[in-house]
Amino acid sequence: AAAAAAAHEAVWSLSSDAGADYLPRLERLLVRAEAAGFTAVLLDMHAPACSANGEEHGAVSLEGSKGLLLASATARNLTLRATAAMASLLASRTRLAWRAVELLNEPGEAPSLYASYYEAAAAVVRQHAGVDVVLCSWTYQLEELAPIASRLGAWMDVHIYHHVARAAPELWASEFASDLRQMATAARASEGRLLVGEYTIALAGGDGEGGSFTDFELLQYARWQAAAFAAAGVAAMAYWNAFCELGESPWGYRRASSPLAAQDWCRWVYGFASGEGECPAAWAPRAPSPGELATTNDSSSGGSLGPG
């Protein structure tokens, strides 16, 4: 593990100036979010140096490892610097009512093993007034995470993915029962500071892509999840993309980031089924012009980024 960490440190040291490229882009995104009327933004440390989970979406895929962030002081320090940069950008966006940094996405180890890192990262974020701290876990880890979050005054974020084979509310209730109980307990313990940071309807149907569900059934399933999370005391929830293609494009990035994504959202969640109407124009994102991408002036961003 030490040798692997050293190798990944070398890779990250070569790209440690990446912030010069991505931070201006991130700032432009925040400017556009403010201009579009968004009131809350959560920036997620999705891929820390040397990975916190060893998954392909966590910086580097490490077979047989749950990430090497904790084994590498260099990786931890680099990730803390990136966290500080994220918090600094958010602190400058004072038109946002709620701004927060999620310290790690879907960490691979038990929450207690990250406690000292969370303390260091939370201290970095708290140097920037008005920016909250968020800790991520799966539902089965919420009980262990709750006291750490309480000690740090942090929000908790839980991600939920279930493969449901049939459009049957009683089946959904059974599938989600344990998660909802744990979420309700965590919501009470945290006085409501619990988010669902990712949920989806993509894993609906026999083929795992929603193929055996009609549009109306997918709409029912989307609304059922939102209502169930709210009943458990969740303060807010963030929807993952509907088209989770399990083949060559595991999370359907192209579809989710295209103008068609707005149509997807309207169809599945707001009830504009295929052939029954169009998504309101104000909800459909448009591609920014070169001039808009070249400036961070609020008044130049224009357009709507969606319903939020």
pTM attached to this predicted model: 0.76
* Run of H or E including 157: strand 155-159
CA-based nearest residue to 47, from 88, 108, 116, 91: 108
User: Tokens 């709210």 sit at which residue?
Assistant: 230
Cβ–Cβ under 8 Å, residues 275 and 2: no
pLDDT in tens, 122-133: 999 999 999 999
Mean pLDDT of 142-157: 96
Span of 28-37, 236-245, 297-306 with lowest mean pLDDT? 297-306
Q: Which two tokens stand for residue 167?
A: 């459009």
pLDDT in tens, 158-198: 999 888 888 888 999 999 999 999 999 999 999 999 999 99
Q: What are phi and psi of 163, to 5 degrees?
A: -90, 110
Task: Give residue 126's pLDDT.
Answer: 96
In angstroms, what CA-CA distances link 184 with 62, 64, 231, 250?
A: 34, 33, 8, 30
Task: Give residue 197's pLDDT.
Answer: 92
Please, which residues bridge with residue 113 across strands?
none
Residue 55 pLDDT > 50, yes or no?
yes
- 99 vs 280: which has the higher pLDDT: 99
Cβ–Cβ under 8 Å, residues 285 and 262: yes
Residue 212 pLDDT > 60, yes or no?
yes
DSSP 64: T
Residue 101 pLDDT > 90, yes or no?
yes
| Mean pLDDT of the residues in the chain | 75
Q: Which two tokens stand for residue 102?
A: 């999620």
- 241 vs 131: which has the higher pLDDT: 131
Q: Which two tokens stand for residue 153?
A: 């005054």
Task: Give residue 26's pLDDT.
Answer: 85
Quick one: CA dihedral 117, 120, 125, 126, positive or negative?
positive
Please state, in angstroms and rounded to a whole number, the distance separating the CA atoms of residues 190 and 112: 17
Task: Give residue 28's pLDDT.
Answer: 87
Q: What are phi and psi of 154, to 5 degrees?
A: -105, 155
Residue 243 pLDDT > 90, yes or no?
no
Please state, in angstroms and rounded to a whole number, the distance separating the CA atoms of residues 126 and 50: 24
Beta-carbon contacts of residue 13 (< 8 Å; ≥ 6 apart): 74
Quick one: CA dihedral 102, 103, 108, 113, positive or negative?
negative
Q: Is 285 helix (H, G, I), strand (E, B) or coil?
A: coil
| Percent of the chain residues topping a pLDDT of 90 | 40
Please state, in angstroms and rounded to a whole number, the distance separating the CA atoms of residues 19 and 42: 18
